[in-house]
A and B are shown apart, each in its own frame.
Chain A
Amino acid sequence: MDRRELIQWLVATAGLPSLAFGRQVHRRPLRRSLSAHVERTLAVATERILPGAAEANVEAFIDKMLADWHTPEERAHFLAGLPELDRRCRARAARDFADCPEADQVAVLTALDDEVSAAGTNDHWFARLKYLTVYGYCTSEAGMRALRLYPLPWRYDGCAPV
C-alpha cells in the first residue's frame, strides 16, 4: 500500500482529526520544577552534550521528568549535583556555566563524561543528565526527523540499503 492509498483508507475509516501529523509548533510548557538559573544551565548543557537539543526543547522534557516522574530523592540528587557545572566553570573562567565561553563549557562536560564513563556508574547526576538529553532528543520531533525516524515510512522493507 502506498502513502496515497493509506491516506484514503484513513479518511474512509477514521476521519482526519486523528491525523495530527503536522510539524508541531514549539510550545514551551510552564516550568514545573526548575529555577530560571537551573533551566538556563540545562538549556546550555544539553545543547553542548548533544547539538540540536536546544531546538528540540530537551530542557522542558527534563523539567517534566523531574517534576512528575522521578522520585523526590532522585530529583534532589540531580539538582544537588548540577551546580558542579557552575563550580567547575568558575574555577576555569570565573563565571557560571551558562556564561562561560563555549570551549570551557565543552571542556567541563567532557571531563565529567570521561569521569562518569570511566566509573561506569549510571546513578551519577551527570549520567542522568546525559541519558535524559539523549532520550529527550531522540523522542522529540526535531530529533526523530533528524534521525529519519519520522515521518513513518508506511511500509516494511527487511533488507533496505542503509
Chain B
Amino acid sequence: MTADFDAIVVGSGMTGGWAAKELTELGLRTLVLEAGRPIVPEQDYTEHKPPWEVPFRGLGDRRGVAARQSVQSHSASFDELSHVFWTDDADNPYSTPSDRPFYWFRARQVGGKSIIWARQVYRWSDLDFEANLRDGIAVDWPIRYADIAPWYDHVERFIGVSGQAEGLAHLPDGPFLPPMALNCVEQHVRQRIADKFGRTRVLTIGRVANLTAPHHGRAPCHYCGPCHRGCITRSYFSSVNATLPAAQATGRLTLRPFSIVRSLVYDAGKNRVTGVRMIDANSRVEREYSARLIFLCASALESARILLNSGLANSSGQVGRNIMDHIKWGGASGQFDGWTDRRTIGERPNGIYVPRFRNVSSRHPDFLRGYGFQGGADRAGWHAALRSPGIGPALKQRLTQLGPWSMSFAGFGEMLPREENRATLHPTLVDAWGIPSLHIECRWGENELAIHRDMNVAAAELLEAAGAKHSEPNTGGPSTPGGTNHEMGTARMGRDPKTSVLNGWNQSWDVPNLFVTDGAAMTSSGCQNPSLTYMALTARACHYAVEQLQRREL
C-alpha cells in the first residue's frame, strides 16, 4: 500500500512551519495537520485597529476571559484583540496539584504561537550545550555548537534577525540585519555599564525577528507596536508570514486545519509509525492519514501528550518528564534625571538585552547556570495621570506631560531539568474531543529560586553603575512555572536510549521514522529565548531525515 503522503507534520507553528518548508523543498509531499483554524492575515490580523474600535478599549473582555480563558490570559502577549490566538481553556482542560499551579499556554491556529511570540532570538553556545555534562545534571546533550551553528545561519538568513554583533563567545553573533536603535537613556546606560564592567556585562539591543530592511519580499518594521495581533506587512517572522508560504510555493504542501491528532498509528512488525489518527474539530469525524515519515511539532507538552496517548517512543520512561520553563520577574527599575527635552516616537517592538554574565568565567557560590536581562527605558505617558489629583484644564494639561525616564531590567533564568517535573496522562480528564488530557506537576527548585533572588541584586548593580535614582527591586516573587511560555524538555535528546527519548538528530530511539523537533527535544533550558534553537534543530532534523529516507534507512 502506498502512503497518502511522504511526510506528516503535526503542528503548523514555529517548528511545524519549518518542517513543512524544509521537507517540501527537499521534495517530500507533506501533510501539515493543524488543530486550529486557518488564518487569513487580511481578516485576522488586528494590529492597526485603533483602541476606540475595540469594545473595552484594551481593558479586555473580563467576563469572556473569566469564563473561557482564565489560564491563557496570564500570557504576556494576551490582550483584548490577541485573545483569539489563544485556546479556549474550557475546551482544553488540564490539571495540576492545587499547590503547584502551572500555566499551559496553547495557541491553536495555523501559525500556532509563532503569531504571538515575543520574537527574541539568541543563539546558544557550548556554555549551554556542555552544561549538563559539566555540572553532572540530568544527561549530556548529544550535540555541540558546531553541530547546530550552520543551522542557526540557515534559519536566521531566512527569518531575518535584526541585532548588534557583540563578539561574545557565549552568545554567538549571526548574519544580522541592521540593529534597532537604543534610545538616549539606553545608550547612556550601555556606556556606563561598559565603563564599570568592561566586557563582563554587556547591554545590547535585543536580537529580534523583526525586519529592519526588506527581506525575501517582506517589508521592514513600521513600528506600530502590537506585533502579537499579527503583522499585515509580514515584518516579523511567523510561519504564516514566511515558512508556510515558502512550503506552499513548492506545490507539495497540503495544509489541513481543524485537525486534532489523537495518536500515532504504529506497525509493530516493521517498528515504524505508519500514520496518525486525527479528529476533525468541526465534524468530529475521525480518520487516519498515512506517511513514511512523521514529525511532531505540536509544542512540547502537546507532542508529549500525543506520544503518551500513543504509548510510543517511551522505552526510557522519559516522555513527559523534565519540564522546564524560564523563571522570571526578578530585576529592578530606576529613574534617571535628565533628557527631559527628549522622548521616544513610535513603538519599538524590542528592548535591550544583557547576556548572561553569571557562571560564565567565574563560579557563583549560590547557583548553577544564570540568566539574561531584558528591559528598556522610556517615559511614562498619560497612564501615569489615571490616578493623579486634579480636574479640569489642569488634569488635561497633565495628560500631555511625560514622566521621568525609567529603565527596567527583567531577568529570564535557566531552569534545571528534573524528572519529577512531569506531565502524565490524566486518568479521567478529556478535552472537548474526548482525547485524554494532561496532569502537570512542575515547580521551581532551589537553583531557580537562587537565580531569581540574584536577579534583583545584579539589576540594582547595573542601575547603580548607570547612575539611576530611586532604584526599586521587583518584589512580586517569581513567575508561575509555564508563565514564560518557554515550556520544554518533555522528550529530551540524549546519547543513551535508556535515558533519553531522542537521539542527536531529534529522531526517536525506539521508532526510527518518528521525529520530535519542538521544545520537547530540549535537554537543558539555557536562559535564552528558545524558539531559534527549536527552529534550527527542526531544519537540521529534516535534512537528516530526508537523507535517511533516500538511503532507505527509514
Note whether A and B form a binding pair.
yes
Closest to A150 in B: B50
Q: Which of B50, B186, B392 contacts A158 (CB 8 A)?
A: B186
Q: What CA separation (Å) do A122 and B387 show in the bound complex?
A: 8
Which of A13-21, A82-90, A92-100 faces chain B? A13-21
Cβ contacts A122-153/B at 8 Å (1 or 0 each): 10000100110011111111001001011011
* B341, A117: Cβ atoms closer than 8 Å: no
Q: Assess whether B344 is interfacial by the CB under 8 Å rule.
A: yes
Asked if B396 contacts A152 (CB within 8 A), the reply is no
B544 at the interface (CB under 8 A from A): no
Q: Are B389 and A158 in contact (CB under 8 A)?
A: no
CB-contact partner of A1 in B41, B180, B222, B400, under 8 A? B222
Report chain A residues within 8 Å CB of B339: 159
| Cβ contact of B183, chosen from A24, A65, A159, cutoff 8 A | A159
Q: B402 at interface (Cβ–Cβ under 8 A)? A: yes
- B215 to chain A minimum Cβ distance, whole angstroms, is 12
Q: Evaluate contact between A155 and B50: CB separation under 8 angstroms.
A: no
Residue among A114, A131, A158 making CB contact with B344, cutoff 8 Å: A158
A162 partner, pick from B48, B183, B402, beta carbons under 8 A: B402
B389 to chain A: closest residue by CB: A117
Q: How far is the CA of A10 from the CA of B222 in the complex (A)?
A: 11
> Please, how many angstroms separate the alpha-carbon atoms of A141 and B53 in the complex?
9
| Residue B146 interfacial (CB < 8 Å) | no
Considering the chains assembled together, what is the distance between the CA atoms of A134 and B389 in angstroms? 12
- B224 CB-CB contact with A under 8 Å: yes
Is A158 a contact of B183 with CB atoms below 8 Å? Answer: yes
- Measured between beta carbons, the chain A residues less than 8 angstroms from B187 are 159
Instruction: Give the residue name and chain of the A residue nearest to B349 (CB).
Output: A156
Report whether B52 and A69 are in contact in the complex, using a CB–CB cutoff of 8 Å.
Answer: no
Q: Is B219 an interface residue (CB 8 A)?
A: yes
A157 touches B346 (CB 8 A): yes
Task: From the candidates A114, A139, A156, name the one contacting B52 in the complex (CB within 8 A).
Answer: A139
A122→B345 CA distance, assembly (Å): 31
Is A55 close to B, CB under 8 A? no
Q: How big is chain B's contact interface, by range?
A: 35 or more
A161: chain B residues at CB < 8 Å are: 341-343
Residue of B nearest to A157 (CB): B345
- The yes or no answer to B194 lying at the interface (CB within 8 A) is no
The reply to whether A155 and B387 form a contact with Cβ atoms under 8 Å apart is no
Contacts of A6 in B (CB 8 A): 219, 222, 233
Contact A156 B345 (CB under 8 A): yes
A-B contact count (CB 8 A): 157
A156–B391 contact, CB under 8 A? no
Is there contact, CB below 8 Å, between B399 and A134?
Answer: yes
A54 on interface, CB distance cutoff 8 Å: no
Report Cα–Cα, A91/B122, bound state, in Å: 66
A139 to B383 Cα, complex, angstroms: 11
Chain A nearest CB, measured from B33 CB (Å): 27
Interface residue A48 (Cβ < 8 Å from any Cβ of B):
yes
CB-CB under 8 A for A49 and B391, given A13-B234, A160-B342, A162-B402? yes
Contact: B385 with A144, CB < 8 Å?
Answer: no
Are B233 and A13 closer than 8 Å at their CB atoms? yes
> Quick check: is B136 within 8 A (CB to CB) of the other chain?
no
Q: Which of B309-348 contact A (CB under 8 A)?
A: 339-348
Could you give, for residues 402-445 of chain B, a 1 whenever the CB lies within 8 Å of some chain A CB and a 0 otherwise?
A: 10000000000000000000000000000000000000000000
Whether A24 pairs with B392 at a CB distance below 8 angstroms is no
Which residues does chain A contribute within 8 Å of B183, judged by CB atoms? 158-159
Q: Is the CB of A15 within 8 A of B344?
A: no
The answer to the question of B143 belonging to the interface, with a C-beta cut-off of 8 Å to chain A, is no
The answer to whether A147 and B399 touch across the interface, beta carbons within 8 angstroms, is yes
Return B392 CB to nearest CB of chain A, in Å. Answer: 6
Contact B48 A113, beta carbon cutoff 8 Å: no
Closest to B56 in A: A69
Tell me if B93 counts as interface (CB < 8 A to partner A).
no
**A44 CA / B41 CA spacing, docked (Å):** 42
Q: Is the CB of B220 within 8 A of A1?
A: yes
Q: Which residues of A contact B181 (CB under 8 A)?
A: 156-158
Contacts of B48 in A (CB 8 A): 18-19, 21, 152
Q: Which of A13, A65, A117, A138 has a CB less than 8 Å from the CB of B56?
A: A65
Q: Taking CB as reference atom, which chain B residue is nearest A1? A: B220
Q: How far is the CA of A137 from the CA of B385 in the complex (A)?
A: 12
Given contacts A134-B399, A162-B402, whether A156 and B344 have CB atoms under 8 Å apart is: yes
Name the distance in Å between B380's Cβ and chain A's nearest Cβ.
Answer: 13
A17 in contact with B42 (CB, 8 Å): yes
Partner of B396, one of A50, A113, A117, A127: A50
Whether B301 sits at the interface, judged by CB under 8 Å, is no
The verdict on A61 contacting chain B, using a C-beta distance below 8 Å, is: yes
Q: Are B399 and A14 in contact (CB under 8 A)?
A: no
Q: Residues of B contacting A51 with CB < 8 Å?
A: 392-393, 396
* A–B pairs, 27, beta carbons within 8 Å: A6-B233, A13-B232, A14-B232, A49-B395, A50-B391, A50-B392, A61-B57, A64-B55, A64-B56, A69-B63, A106-B391, A113-B391, A114-B389, A134-B386, A137-B399, A139-B52, A141-B50, A141-B52, A147-B382, A147-B400, A155-B346, A156-B180, A156-B345, A158-B344, A159-B342, A160-B343, A162-B343
20 A-B pairs besides A69-B59, A147-B381, A162-B402 with CB distance below 8 A are A10-B233, A13-B219, A13-B233, A49-B391, A49-B392, A50-B391, A61-B57, A65-B56, A68-B55, A110-B391, A134-B395, A153-B223, A153-B346, A154-B223, A155-B223, A155-B346, A157-B346, A158-B186, A159-B344, A160-B345
Leading 9 A-B pairs by shortest Cβ distance:
A158-B183, A156-B346, A139-B51, A117-B389, A159-B184, A9-B219, A139-B57, A157-B345, A156-B223
